[in-house]
Structure 1
């Protein structure tokens, strides 16, 4: 009897183990026309575990045999599939003619009536998923996975060129408070111009600003036009009467004292520009809140990559995607490469997911991006930072971000933020600090395209609405090609 009982227990244990067997389920989610659905969500029913498909509709999720997977996509009927021992699971979703807004939470799926027209026009509030590595929000359903470029619209504010407006803005309470919060100054600038002996601009020359105690305030590099802007108060107000600027090249150090309220200074370099190269980094927030625009952004960036000026001898591109701590990943980096097709492939494989709170790991993204293999001899180094949320505010992050800004300045990397829908004034102001301090410019998406959630109205007197891809190509050429 004991032997029989033992065998029974062993048998039952074996059955239990079999039922609890965990496998990796993979497959493709597509529509009734067999077109892949990017960013469809897959949730293990009754749990908070879930993922979303990539640009090609491909997914991979760990689940136990017997679990039920729920497949959801805005504008389509939900489908449930039971996990078997077969890891392959391809799923076809069909449009829901009586579309309901879908909100996925840890407790299941809730629905509230809305029309197909509202959902497809971006008026429905979309899909919110609280589990890791899934959409937090999608406000516009993309019925066809093939998205064309030249749809997103944007504006630009170059605060270095609109300096008086910038200084007036800094006096406004909200902006002033944020300036104090993050410890930026950026009100007292000095323009440095470096030319060679035949009056041609010299790029990538290191210049440094010291106070009267010979303490380093800021180091930067000249751009393609032989210019850079230094700030006496880059991070805080400086109470100094005397300043020194040094130009460092090939072991030579040339110093000049600033006289009185002098705001412009010129150096003569013995160096000739030999390099004809540009490094371009796209650092992209890939959390769920970017879900309403990220596939459009990918289409725009793919177009931009193909259009970089052919006169530039060497073009290298890199990508950094980031989310937040606790997500499937914090940062995912693809280092610089001259293989454009490889960069495009890596770009298209990414999707939005994760997040949870408003702030994201911006500081980690900057750290990873700035420490990639930047070409020290490039005429131009551009970091486009696409995001809709600020970094977490802690004193540790304040110190870290200041160090990252200093590193960008010293390497000559211009930070060019591109702010998407959902951003608030804190995001705008902080990103404008990033751009001004690194001699970059500020870019923001607008409502003119009708794509995505509502976009923040920028604090400026005037700006020109452009197609985002045209604007970025224009900026790349402006900062990379000498106009004669």
Structure 2
């Protein structure tokens, strides 16, 4: 017993010493050619996934131990490694990597390596990237000038529409790990449709699914198509033989008992008045790791907000920005507003900073986003979640996130993640669980624009590359039933 206590004591001291050694490292990353700052440069603790990105002044902050080595990298430049040791400030100057800058293509979108691109292009031989994009190239962000919209490129995966591919992905070990960690399964679905007696789809109808023990599994709401997808195995593997589907319209409640083999069921209700209103929320990771793309994203979002279709009677937009505990703020939120110009003005004033470790306060952002003044009568309720990192994985956060997903389902809010550079497969898989469970879709920024750090290639057979702003407007119109 004494030996065990001694081992435990020594282990506790060791952990405490390691925690005390962890300290904040800061510095600046610049280009050797002209000493200009390199925004969006990556700073990673060697051998880990922990990292940070520089802001538009080339500044970064990261927590590290004396035994750690920092790896500094930037597209088109040679990487550098620096041992932390006793230093609390580490600044580096990166040299051009001629081997990766042999040929660059300048297009109307941005700067990218030469590939299969249609339209007018200009070939640029290897010189400093900074000197070649001095502001004369259309669409390239330089200094504090705000970039134009229509530069970022993205793709979409709608797993509900590509259900067979989704089920194949669920067999992969990475997916199984996420399933076990976060208790999402989403393999056994049923499609519920609700129409009036004239065949007109009814939206915002509350639909609940119960197991054979009459325990509630999931409650959600129909969208503008009058349909909603429910999951018999939302948070646990489904083994029941019978289920009950219950719908509610005002004071009327209807129920149907089904077997496990049912994949679709329909209900017919009385006519009801419906609005043409939409609520759109943008929940945005504003930590330092988003520094390579945040200004471009702001331009895209302002363009998107301006383009909301005139056929939408009452369009309201809300903004939620989040960082992490210990930063200047954890969550900064702006409730729904129909004054589009006011929303764009708020968006213009935001910047990326803070963070330091890989995970961020995603769960806190979800809590605030779900608590806002959503219009319960709106035909369409969408939440776009822009991020590049997952929430901190703790038992408490698992419970918080499951509760927020449940609220989104009950309110009929579709969560549409937009994953930026720096994300790994854990982020992709978890965000696809978010979108599937709320009847949304998954969006990811691609490398095709040449903007920002490298972007993750998604697990899918095929996808179409679009301009991000066009894609988001298309999704808003699709889920609002707007016919273009």
Contact 1:102–1:110 (8 Å) recurs in 2: no
1:215 partnered with 2:196 = no
The 5 Å alignment of 1:57-456 reads 73-74=57-58, 107-115=88-96, 142-143=142-143, 145-456=145-456
Q: Closer, same or farther in 2 for the Cα pair 1:349/1:382, shift >3 Å? A: same
Q: Is there any run of 5+ residues in structure 1 with no aligned partner, and where? A: 1-36, 41-51, 54-71, 76-99, 127-139
Rg larger for? 1
How far residue 110 of structure 1 moved from its aligned partner, in angstroms, is 2.2
How far residue 326 of structure 1 moved from its aligned partner, in angstroms, is 0.4
Contact 1:360–1:391 (8 Å) recurs in 2: yes
How far residue 113 of structure 1 moved from its aligned partner, in angstroms, is 4.1
- Aligned pairs, how many? 385
Within 2, Cα distance between the matches of 1:260 and 1:396? 32
How far residue 174 of structure 1 moved from its aligned partner, in angstroms, is 1.2
How far residue 101 of structure 1 moved from its aligned partner, in angstroms, is 9.6
How far residue 273 of structure 1 moved from its aligned partner, in angstroms, is 3.8
Q: Deviation digits for residues 343-380 of structure 1, max 9, x if unmatched?
A: 00110100000001000000000000011000000000
Within 2, Cα distance between the matches of 1:422 and 1:122? 18
Contact 1:122–1:141 (8 Å) recurs in 2: no
Contact 1:102–1:109 (8 Å) recurs in 2: no
**RMSD value over aligned CA atoms?**
3.2
How far residue 194 of structure 1 moved from its aligned partner, in angstroms, is 0.6
* Partner SS state of residue 318, structure 1: strand
Report what 2:17 is aligned to.
none
Q: Closer, same or farther in 2 for the Cα pair 1:365/1:38, shift >3 Å? A: farther
* Partner SS state of residue 268, structure 2: strand
Contact 1:101–1:114 (8 Å) recurs in 2: no
Q: Deviation digits for residues 409-433 of structure 1, max 9, x if unmatched?
A: 0000000000000000000000000
Within 1, Cα distance between the matches of 2:181 and 2:483? 40
How far residue 143 of structure 1 moved from its aligned partner, in angstroms, is 3.2
Within 2, Cα distance between the matches of 1:375 and 1:320? 17
* Partner SS state of residue 422, structure 2: coil
Q: Deviation digits for residues 215-236 of structure 1, max 9, x if unmatched?
A: 1000000001001000000111
Contact 2:325–2:361 (8 Å) recurs in 1: yes
